[in-house]
Amino acid sequence: MKVLRLISAVLGVANALYSASDDVVELTQSNFASKVTKSDELWIVEFYAPWCGHCKTLAPEYKKLAKELKGTVNVGAVDMTQHQSVGAPFGIKGFPTIKIFGYNKQKPVDYNGQRTADAMGDEAFKQLRKLTKDKASGGKSSGGSGGSGNKGKTGKGSTILTDSNFRSKVIEGGDPWLVEFYAPWCGHCQRLEPEWKSAANTVAAETGGKVKLGHLDATQAQQIAGQYGIQGYPTIKIFYPDGRVEDYNGGRTADDIVAQAMILFEDVAEPPELFELTNKDALDKACTDAQVCIVAFLPHILDDQAAGRNDRLKLLRDMIETYKRKKWGWLWTTVASQPELEKQLGVSDYPSLIVVNPRKHLAVKMLQGFSKSGMEEFFRNIAYGKTGTAVSSFEEFAAIADVEAWDGKDGQLDVEEADDDLDDFDWGDDEEDDEYDQWGRKIEL
């Protein structure tokens, strides 16, 4: 650390890479504990030196990351030439070093991925999902034993992979895979074994077999191990259906592995159905087993016509695709079709969108506009437990009316035929011989 001070002094480096105008939070000896280690929020922290060439290269992407994640994930930076004591407990030895501070702030996760805003953002959201889960379980998913009850679940387990079946199952099978390359004599592999088996059972049960786990003895299948550059054990790799192969650098507990598998599941899961709320049965199908129910109240067909309504339904289906891994139910109805429900949930303008938690009897209204950006912001907050201020409570769902389903056509005004015969009107026939001047005054003959 004395060397760092000397270099900083000799080079005259007084300016950090980030300023108050950036969205990157400047972390120092005086604020690191209050902002990061004592916080219950997720932090991405870069430990850097202003003279470091790689740090300078990273800076534009890191600023972009901070701007994109503002309000969702905290992004900070520590100038190690000025605040060496901040990084010392975390073994900072090179620059830039990026660490992610999740549930256990004393054991941050190293980020070793690509140094782009997109790649770091993807990892941030993955860690944010894990933090949410850790909070709900009291941090059990961060422990070495996994401790979430996964071992009690049953499933198909981990597939034994060999030179003879690897290509047909993993490369050509069309499913995402997590594959462990191991050696029977490896102590770390032996410690991983119960966590891997537990995770495999859980993943099989939760995904219906659409995400698979397998293990390959690299001492026997040396050709496959060599093809993927396996040099240490255990090595875990992610095989995507499109042919991509990535290293898995996450935690080695069952919960960590399951969390990664569920992220893979997002790409292959079938999205839930969007029900039209035409009766009580539709409500039950969408909401009975759901964590939350989303109900969209759309304008009258005469206001939107078929094209406008289909645009709104497509927007909802796009959101369903994005959040298909969530156990959410989705419904839509139209103005005045379900008056009791509208009254109960305080719906007075259209289109409106309400998220309902049937178990907690709470409802949250979307205050953002009924648009892609508005929905993305709203559902992102819902996914991470940020409900905002538009929250109401209710006892039970209001009575659901039986209504006809939309026929997919434009709306038509109802025109009633008149019963009166036009011949019955008094057309002033008795005055047909009268004459009038240019101002409409009757001329007396």
Catalytic residues: 52, 55, 186, 189
- Cα(71)–Cα(85) distance, integer angstroms: 28
Residues 6 or more apart in contact with residue 42 via CB below 8 angstroms: 73, 74, 100, 101, 102, 124, 127, 128, 131
What is the β-pairing status of strands 43-48 and 74-79? parallel
Query: Taking the chain, what is the end-to-end CA distance rounded to the nearest angstrom?
Result: 121
- Cα(100)–Cα(75) distance, integer angstroms: 9
- Cα(22)–Cα(68) distance, integer angstroms: 12
What are the structure tokens assigned to 132, written together?
């949410």
SS3 358: coil
Positive or negative: CA dihedral 159, 238, 91, 134: negative
Please confirm whether the linkage preceding 96 is cis (ω < 30° from 0): yes
Please confirm whether the linkage preceding 358 is cis (ω < 30° from 0): no
Residue 244: how many other CB atoms lie within 10 Å? 9
CA 391 to chain centre: 21
Bridge partners (DSSP) listed for residue 44: 75, 100
Token pair 């996994």 is found at 146
- Cα(324)–Cα(207) distance, integer angstroms: 12
Instruction: Tell which residue, 125, 11, 35, has the closest CA to residue 384.
Output: 125
Phi, psi of 170 (to 5 degrees): -90, -50
Alpha helices by DSSP H, 208-290: 222-227, 254-268, 280-287
- Cα(186)–Cα(230) distance, integer angstroms: 14
Residues 6 or more apart in contact with residue 124 via CB below 8 angstroms: 42, 44, 65, 69, 73, 100
What are the structure tokens assigned to 65, written together?
């990351």
